[in-house]
Chains A and B, each alone.
Chain A
């Protein structure tokens, strides 16, 4: 009885229910403080936060959003996607196309219609898929639709024919690899290897001004909070419960009568859209989007962020993304050669010793504390064997 109770408790903890609200508060406070310190503090003050830091934080938050997207499907539905970088990049390209069109005749060749790289490839007119991208709302629609549609088609094909587990992971990797190769091609009309860059402004605001940067940062933070809360809500609905059921026993869920593939497809689409939004917010902040974002290694790295933070805990994924990327920034500055060693070791150690990530570790520590207290209070009451913490649902 007590074991059932504790396993229920640990389950709810794993779901991170109790953590979302405090996390959102902390995130918003940090965001507000950082923005305030950047805009209102004098540059020589101790409290001044440089624009460099703001952009860096903004980038971390975009990665966090991406990690959230992966956690939604991997942590809750057991679908390990090694191709989420593709959705991220597609969202980024949609935003990049909008920003390119905003340059107008301020490009180096001064062509009002065509982006520089097209002039230079001797193209005489805009390819069809670039039309309408000068409208912000069209571009934003594309940020959601393109990754969503790709995820729908891919997911519909894959889940319907019950491609699961490892096969699915490798197929997603093939997908992002194929996109990588395609976007490298100059004929595709996305600027080839150089990608899209040299953006000037967004919605009429200068991208290089501090105000715009801070605004973008705040938008990213708000968006992240919104998506976090939304994802949590979704997981609490009936839909979310079925998703978790599919993770824990897909055949059983199917036998009970659920069309599991439909649930999976829609969750996959949702997750892809989050990744798309993350990409769209990433591009104006870092100032470039190119095919490198499609590279399979990037996608695997995202999974690691989630694993480090703790899969199946939305907050954990976010924290994992921020921590790993912070470590990366620090590490590459101190000893560039060591970074890959550290990253590699992290992969191995986390999977071996922290299967539930940092959040799992925290939960475990708390558990022990709790148990210790219980132990103290009912010392020598009974000699029930120490229960091991239950194994993960691999």
Chain B
């Protein structure tokens, strides 16, 4: 069950809706099914256990539907119904005949409730039933989810399945399961020793636990020794994968910092405007995602793709507006822009509070961003983080191209290097200023879309990132995009490597203190801007 990730769950859901079970429940099953609709939540387990063992129709669909919380029954006829929720509409089908029941309304049906105990049992029961599933991936996951509870019955099932098994990788996990059982129950020391040897290559946590137990308690010395060697090998690997994991955490934190800071690197770094409302531009982007999902409740899967350009426009326009109305008048007075934009940030926050309520808003994560890729039992990378790392790098590259290869980029660079000279060359500096500010703000909006997938969408969203963003830009060196990139990843990785030692709070304090001291040493950051533009 632990290994059935969300993608699988989603596939299963599709399977249920399409597969039709022609076979009606048997005589022996009928009363049990009826009981299921009547029994109290804490008495439902024995009913399910009986259902699993009673001969008759396949109960897999029933168990799966129940596990997903989609099992209902019609109040009158007591027949079991599967509910399929398609965004806002719920469709009902008869669980066994597959007949569509379109005229059923919400008050005619009642939900069969599940709690954790039942979910745990259902997961295992499904795994037992799926040992003979045609898909080898499903079979493998099924075996692995049975590791934590290897009773004699389950082992018998696995043993029979092993005989028929063709796939090499499924055979391996089945062997591990059988070996786990043998180390526990075999009377002969040689038998156990052999089993320990089988276990040696596996990284499953259950294997590690079993080896730990054996290394301490096994009566035979040679078994203890073999278990210890196996354990050492696992620990060695665990250490390496732990390091990789930490590195990934650091990179993913870094990519969040990069996304948050990169817009600022433009407005602050290139234009020299201290935009305290930068966080609110991020917030606007996140709220755009919320509004998109609200408007298109049936397109959650694609909502992010729509939200990205929209957020860019919303925040970008807000940025241009701010530039035209306020910042333009404060040119050359950076400290004053700081105050004015801080005022704007307060106004924007309060506006969001008034329009959307002070409560956090619900932004759904599309299914393709949920769950994780499991590389091995010790190392799995969460999908949303992976996407965000990739997304951050993509945004960074695009921005780099815009600045280096387009005429807008050329103008921006010219204005930032020498405003008067640029003006003399006929560049409309005020227009460039507005566009630059719009670009920086728009990028912040895109960051907001990404952050809406990681954290709360609420009026305080921007506040949480503003200080970090400034730290990243200043640390990297103002006016240098590559500096921002390096700084974001350095700070992210540093934070994640300090955290296990000191705890999360102290880690962020230490990073802050480090930046403060670093800036004293190198006042212009990691990659200081060179030449006359720097003064």
A residues whose Cβ falls under 8 Å from a Cβ of B: 80, 154, 157-158, 160-167, 169-171, 173-175, 177-178, 181-182, 184-185, 296-297, 300, 303-304, 307, 337, 340-341, 343-348, 350-352, 355, 392, 394
Contacts and interface: CB of A to CB of B under 8 A. Distances in A.
Given A169-B338, A174-B467, A394-B336, A340 B509 contact: no
Given A350-B339, A351-B337, 19 more contacts: A80-B338, A157-B520, A158-B519, A161-B520, A161-B521, A161-B523, A164-B523, A166-B338, A170-B470, A173-B467, A173-B470, A181-B508, A340-B346, A340-B349, A341-B350, A344-B350, A347-B343, A348-B344, A348-B347
B interface, by DSSP: helix, strand, loop or mixed? Answer: helix
A64 to B, nearest CB: 19
A163 B346 contact: no
- 10 pairs of A and B residues whose beta carbons are closest in the complex: A347-B343, A344-B346, A344-B347, A340-B350, A394-B333, A157-B520, A178-B512, A348-B343, A351-B340, A344-B343
B342 A178 contact: no
Contacts of B474: 167, 170-171
B464 to A, nearest CB: 12
B517 A337 contact: no
A303 B339 contact: yes
Contacts of B351: 341
B267 interface: no
A163 B520 CA distance: 7
Contact of A171 (B338, B519, B521): B519
14 contacts: A163-B523, A185-B505, A307-B339, A341-B346, A341-B350, A341-B351, A344-B343, A344-B347, A346-B343, A347-B342, A348-B344, A348-B347, A350-B339, A351-B336
B342 A175 contact: no
Contacts of A337: 350, 353-354
A351 B516 contact: no
B120 interface: no
Interface string B466-490: 0100110010000000000000000
Nearest to B339: A351
Residue with the greatest number of chain B CB neighbours at <10 A, chosen from A157, A161, A163, A340: A340
Contacts of B354: 337
B377 to A, nearest CB: 35
B274 A166 contact: yes
B345 A344 contact: yes
Contacts of A303: 339
A288 B351 CA distance: 31
Contacts of B512: 174, 177-178, 181
B332 A394 contact: yes
A300 B349 CA distance: 16
Nearest to B473: A170
Interface of B: 272, 274, 276, 326, 329-330, 332-340, 342-347, 349-351, 353-354, 463, 467, 470-471, 474, 505-506, 508-509, 512-513, 515-517, 519-521, 523
Instruction: Give the most central of B332, B335, B463: most A CB within 10 Å.
Output: B335
Contacts of A174: 467, 470-471, 512, 515-516
Nearest to B511: A178
B525 to A, nearest CB: 9
B520 A351 contact: no
Contacts of A351: 330, 336-337, 339-340, 343
The winner among A300, A307, A337, A350 for most chain B CB atoms within 10 A is A300
A392 B336 CA distance: 11
Contact of A352 (B326, B332, B335, B342): B326
A329 B506 CA distance: 36
Nearest to B350: A340
Contacts of B339: 300, 303-304, 307, 347, 350-351
B335 A343 contact: no
Nearest to B322: A348
A173 B515 CA distance: 12
Contacts of A347: 339-340, 342-344, 346
A337 to B, nearest CB: 7
Interface centre among B276, B332, B471, B523 (most CB of A within 10 A): B523
Nearest to A180: B509
A352 B340 CA distance: 8
A315 to B, nearest CB: 20
Given A304-B339, A340-B350, A352-B330, A178 B516 contact: yes
A148 B289 CA distance: 47
A394 B336 CA distance: 8
| B338, B508, B515, B521 pick with most chain A CB within 10 angstroms | B338
Nearest to A347: B343
A355 B340 CA distance: 11
Given A344-B347, A347-B346, A351-B336, A167 B523 contact: yes
Contacts of A169: 274, 335, 338
Contacts of B470: 170, 173-174
A169 B337 CA distance: 13
Considering residues A160, A165, A174, A341, which has the most beta carbons from chain B within 10 angstroms of its beta carbon? A174
B325 to A, nearest CB: 9
A347 to B, nearest CB: 2
A345 B343 contact: yes
B463 to A, nearest CB: 8
Nearest to A340: B350
A182 B343 contact: no
A355 B335 CA distance: 11
Of A296, A351, A352, chain B has the most CB atoms within 10 Å of the CB of A351
B519 A167 contact: yes
A383 B66 CA distance: 93
A352 B508 contact: no
Contacts of B523: 161-164, 167
A62 to B, nearest CB: 22
A7 to B, nearest CB: 20
A166 to B, nearest CB: 5
A34 B471 CA distance: 47
A296 B517 contact: no
Contacts of A182: 509
A71 B344 CA distance: 23
A163 B346 CA distance: 28
A178 B509 contact: yes
Nearest to A182: B509
A68 to B, nearest CB: 18
B39 to A, nearest CB: 47
A345 B509 CA distance: 33
Contacts of A161: 520-521, 523
A156 to B, nearest CB: 9
B347 A345 contact: yes
A282 to B, nearest CB: 23
Contacts of A304: 339, 342
A386 B451 CA distance: 54
Contacts of B336: 351, 355, 394
Given A171-B516, A351-B340, A184 B347 contact: no
A98 to B, nearest CB: 26
B471 A352 contact: no
A170 B268 CA distance: 12
A154 B336 CA distance: 23
Contacts of B463: 297
A183 to B, nearest CB: 10
